[in-house]
Structure 1
Amino acid sequence: MTSVKQFRVDREATADELGRGAFVFTDAYSVFDWGQMPDEIPEKGASLCAMGAYNFELLEREGVPTHYRGVVEDGEVLPLADVDAPPTEMAIDLTQVPDLPHEGRSYDYDAYHEAAGENYLVPLEIVFRNRVPVGSSLRRRTAPADHGLDLAEWPDEAVDLDEPVVEFSTKYEESDRYLDRGEADRIAGIASIDDLETVAREVNRVVTERAEAVGMTHEDGKIECLLYDDEIRVADVVGTFDENRFSYDGQQLSKEVIRQYHKRTQPDWVEAVDAAKAEAKETDVADWRTLCDVQPQSLDEVVIETARSIYTAGANAYLGRELFDAPGLDEAVAAAREL
């Protein structure tokens, strides 16, 4: 299980064949890589499932291979358009995901690929960026000039990029880190780093065009991929308010709203998380959470309801369908501005 969705295996993948399984989406949420937080956000899981399914179906129509099979209603696998209620289960093809051995923060990718063979989940996240909003890690790691921007420093508002930026980060390390292209290529195994980038750019194009069609701005996002039969296929979930940053009329619609709220209202916890991550890096400890001496606190009910509205109203707008009982997007955005 991940921090926000359960993973069910119906048939194991083998070295030569894909398996079958499902994601079961929960209403849990996670920020700052903490894992499951104290509260749940009602209907969050269903909104992620619906948006992910919608985007997978868009990608398949555009000729981009994925591991998606449909959403599940009453035990039957169906296209999203054929369900009447918000789905919480997504049927998927499964690939092999070997253990990634490590000593401290030193990870043995050679062992991973020896066990994986030619049917495996690529142990990378491929990140694409169209805009650099407040809160983006790109601001900490690079300067505007690195991206051809005529700015001395990052301003206090979002900055549009002339061309999308694609980056690679680790997937299964306790503290994910961004990689140069050479290390990303090594970690990817026999999967082509060029093909991974090409697929990421195509996913970015499809999601960006859909967002623009409904008045949203797609700022950044990420994908995961599997390799099967010498083909890169998009895996995990794509184009949701957890995997991607979207905005509407200048207001964030993504999980970033809750992330920034925690920064303002629980700064001691956020600072403790940063300190624990730094200490773990210095002392070669894999799980930084064991070094964090402050726990996150529950959210007020008004914050939870506002978050629910962001996910459900945003999903309705993106899908072009009133799948959720939710306020209009303008109302949800107005409430988010008040947090």
Structure 2
Amino acid sequence: MGSVKDLTVIKKPEDDRTGIGRFLFSDRYSVFDYGEMPDLIENKGKALCLISAYFFEILEKDGISTHYIGLVEEEKAKRLDELDGAVNEMEVRLVRVVEPERTGSGYDYSIFKNLNGNYLIPLEVIYRNSLPEGSSVFRRLRKGEIGPEDLGLTEIPTPGSRLEKPVIDFSTKLEDTDRYLRRREALEISGLSEEEFEELAELAEKIDRIITEEVGKAGIENLDGKVEFALDENRKLMLVDAVGTPDECRFSFDGIEMSKEILRKFYRKTEWYRLVEKFKGEENWRGHAGKPPKLPEDLKNAVSEMYMSACNEITGMKFFDTPSLKDVMKKISEFMEVYDG
């Protein structure tokens, strides 16, 4: 079980063969790497499942290999246009998840050098089309972890900057707390050759372009997002996990962010968040931070509508009876103003 998705293994992956599993997209949510939060957001799981399926099917038509098999309805794997209603279960091909070895000073990834294929690449690949306020890039710039040259820029950017060319960024996937990586370190821990690593970065850019074009039809701007990859049994790159959703991407509508950022903004005003910032990275930091507070009911309902409306308008199918995305995002903007204040 993950913080927001559950996995049922139908057939285990083997060294040289992928398996089969089913993702159950829940109504849980997670922020700041904490894990499961105290509320459920109604129909979030179904909306994310359907949006992700939509993009897997679009990307496959463009020749991109994915682990997607279909959506589960009445115990059958179906394509999106074959469904009778909204579902929250997806059938996928499974690869091995090989864990790096925990050491006193960090993690040892040497095992990945000896894998032939059929494994999850231990990276999150992040594309950035712009640098909205709240982007982790500004914190890393302040701390000197990266410079503007790492972003292909000649000077320090300001919040809201649009990038002429997308930046491809990397973080760890299998560590207790996500850690951003420079490109050379990402290559080193991935187990990929330099040619395979370049192909991975180019594939992330292509996926970014397709998502940007598709959501643009619904008036949504794709600011940044993450994708995850595996090598299949033939050592071919394969897109895995979920893709193109408001949880994997930072979307904007009429200048209003339509992502988990509104939830982050609410929590940044709390004492719980202050403790997260204080203890994160230490052993048992979640225990030291304590249990997060529950969301206000009206905020929770507005976020639920955001997910459902986004699903209707991105897929072009009316799965949910909910207001238009424009009306929902106007309501979200009012909450944003409160939490920005």
User: TM-score, normalized by length of structure 1?
Assistant: 0.92
Question: What corresponds to 2:251 in structure 1?
Answer: 246
1:330 to 326, 329, 336: 326
Match in the other structure for 1:202: 206
Aligned equivalents of 1:79, 1:139: Cα separation in 2: 41
2:30 aligned partner: 30
Which of 231, 239, 252 aligns to 1:227? It is 231
Summarize the Cα distance change of 1:271–1:322 in structure 2 as closer, same or farther, 3 Å threshold.
same
1:27-176 equivalences under 5 Å are 27-104=27-104, 106-111=106-111, 114=114, 116-142=115-141, 145-146=148-149, 147=151, 154-155=158-159, 158-176=160-178
Q: CA deviation at 1:173?
A: 0.5
Residues 246 and 259 of structure 2 are in contact (CA less than 8 Å); yes or no, is this contact kept in structure 1?
A: yes
Q: CA deviation at 1:73?
A: 0.3
1:291-337 deviations in whole A, cap 9, x for unaligned? x2342101111011001011001111111111112111111111101
The corresponding residue for 1:177 is 179
Shift of 1:170: 0.3
* CA displacement at 1:152 relative to structure 2: 5.4
Hey, what's the Cα distance between the residues in 1 that align with 2:49 and 2:82? Answer: 14
Q: Distance in 2 between matches of 1:186 and 1:149?
A: 25
Deviates further, 92-101 or 299-308: 92-101
Deviations 1:148-191 (A, max 9, x none): 65765524xx2211110001110010111111122111111036
Does the Cα contact within 8 Å between 1:9 and 1:22 map onto a contact in 2?
Answer: yes
What one-letter code is carried by the residue in structure 1 that aligns with 2:223? E
Distance 1:11 1:249, change over 3 A: same
Return the match for 1:189 from 167, 184, 191.
Answer: 191
Say if 2:27 and 2:40, in contact at 8 Å, map to a contact too: yes
Alignment partner of 1:338: what SS?
helix
Give the drift of 1:98: 2.1
8 Å Cα contact 1:99/1:112 also seen in 2: no
Question: What is aligned with 1:288?
Answer: 285
Moved more, 19-28 or 294-303: 294-303
Q: 1:199 to 1:17 in 2, by over 3 A?
A: same
Q: TM-score, with normalisation over the residues of structure 2?
A: 0.91
User: What is the match of residue 260 of structure 1?
Assistant: 265
Report the equivalent of 1:237. 242
Matched letter for residue 220 of structure 2: M
Q: Measured at CA, do residues 214 and 176 of structure 1 come closer, stay the same or move farther in structure 2, by a change above 3 Å?
A: same
> Cα distance, 1:113 vs. partner?
5.2
Distance 1:201 1:64 in 2: 12
1:204 CA displacement: 0.4
3-state SS of 1:87 partner: coil
Aligned mates of 2:215, 2:119 — CA distance in 1: 31
Which letter does structure 1 place at the counterpart of 2:45?
G
More off after superposition, 232-241 vs 103-112: 103-112
Moved over 6 A (4+): none
Q: What CA distance in whole angstroms lies between the structure 1 residues aligned with 2:273 and 2:97?
A: 31
- SS of the aligned residue for 2:63 comes to coil
Unaligned residue ranges in structure 1 (runs of 5+) = none
Once the 2 structures are TM-superposed, how far is the Cα of residue 99 of structure 1 from its aligned partner? 3.0
The equivalent residue for 2:309 is 313
User: Which amino acid letter does the alignment assign opposite residue 164 of structure 1?
Assistant: P
Q: Give the secondary structure class of the aligned counterpart of 1:142.
A: helix
- Residues of 2 paired with 1:153 and 1:218: CA distance? 18
CA drift of 1:101 comes to: 2.3
Structure 2's unaligned 5+ residue stretches are: 336-341
Distance 1:151 1:184 in 2: 24
- Cα distance in 1 for residues equivalent to 2:154 and 2:259: 28
Whether contact under 8 Å (1:4, 1:30) holds in the other structure is: yes
Contact kept, 8 Å, 2:116 with 2:235, in 1: the verdict is no
Matched, 1:213 2:209: no
